[in-house]
Amino acid sequence: MQVNINKEIIPLEEARISPLDRGYLYGDGIFETMRSYGSKVFKLNEHLDRLYSSAQAILMEIPWRQEELAIEIKRTLEANDLSESDAYIRISLSRGEAGIGINPADAKEPTLMIITKPLSPPDPKLYEKGWEVVTVPTRRSQIETVNPRIKSCNFLNSILAKAEAKMVGADDGIMLNQKGFVTEGTVSNLFLVKDGILKTPPKSAGILAGITRKLVIELGLELELKVKEENLTRHDFYTADEAFATVTSVEIIPIVKMDNRLIGDGKPGPITREIFDNFPRPR
């Protein structure tokens, strides 16, 4: 594997960052996860827009233009012989190297890192059987602390939620906010269907403004579905006709059970399938 560090492409075995890098010391950084379909990076501009928004939110100045980062992503894909293949792409920016201490002004230059690897399609059974999820004790970070709309390298909130889900044998953990409303999965946004209406938690609930989430909202409207963004409870999911998660790397994941309760008839529903079948995959 070849990785890109500060626009230099080198073998993974030779890749190094400083022990004083703030991303390593404090999780002081941001990232985006993307995927490509063949030669096309899915929603590249939207992902880079969100990266720059995250940087602005944490008072980090990115010294490169978006067009330059797009070129570096392409170079990294080419270096790994992935320019014509489905690929996973992660671009990370830490605040950079500084002395010990939390003052962000001590860091002068961000550290850029781009990683790419082949993206294998999920097991088809995932779409046939769906996920069984649980709500977990770990709550989503409050907007007033670290806003979940910042895609931060400090990912411990989601890591703990994932660990709690795996401890009870679930596929993923669903986090509630401090008011008890459903927010999102560990790396996914959530939707439910009730009486033909497509519903998803609003950004104000404390969620990441997902790129695929936005696409599914638009797709739902194109399919002439009624779409609502509103606060949702566990009861709403327990009594839903269908539910699914959205995540860039695997698109749509049906959710068939939450907290050991069947959702609908316990199988992926017709609207979930319609959205999956009409997902605009670039080719």
Compute CA distances 189 → 79, 154, 269, whole Å: 32, 18, 18
Written as one string, the DSSP assignment of 36-64 is EETTEETTHHHHHHHHHHHHHHTT---SS
CA pair distance 145, 142, nearest whole angstrom = 5
Which residues are part of the catalytic machinery?
151
Mean pLDDT of 22-43: 95
> Helix axis angle, 270-277 relative to 211-222, nearest 10°?
100
Q: Is 226 exposed, middle or buried (0-12, 13-18, 19+ CB in 10 A)?
A: exposed
Q: How far is 117 from 86, CA to CA, in rounded Å?
A: 9
* Domain 124-277 fold: D-amino Acid Aminotransferase; Chain A, domain 2 (3.20.10)
Q: Tens digit of pLDDT for each residue in 48-66?
A: 999 999 999 999 999 999 9
Select the CATH number that applies to the domain covering 2-118 from these four: 2.30.33.40, 3.30.413.10, 3.30.70.580, 3.30.470.10: 3.30.470.10
What Å distances lie between residue 1 and 4, 86, 199, CA to CA?
A: 10, 15, 41
- C-alpha 278/C-alpha 37 separation (Å) is 16
Domain ranges of the chain: 2-118, 124-277
Note the pLDDT tens digit of each residue in 124-179: 888 889 999 999 999 998 888 888 899 999 999 999 999 999 999 999 999 999 99
Query: What digits encode the pLDDT tens for the residues 99-128?
Result: 899 999 899 899 999 999 999 888 888 888
176 forms bridges with which residues in the sheet?
Answer: 182
Predicted TM-score (pTM) of this structure: 0.93
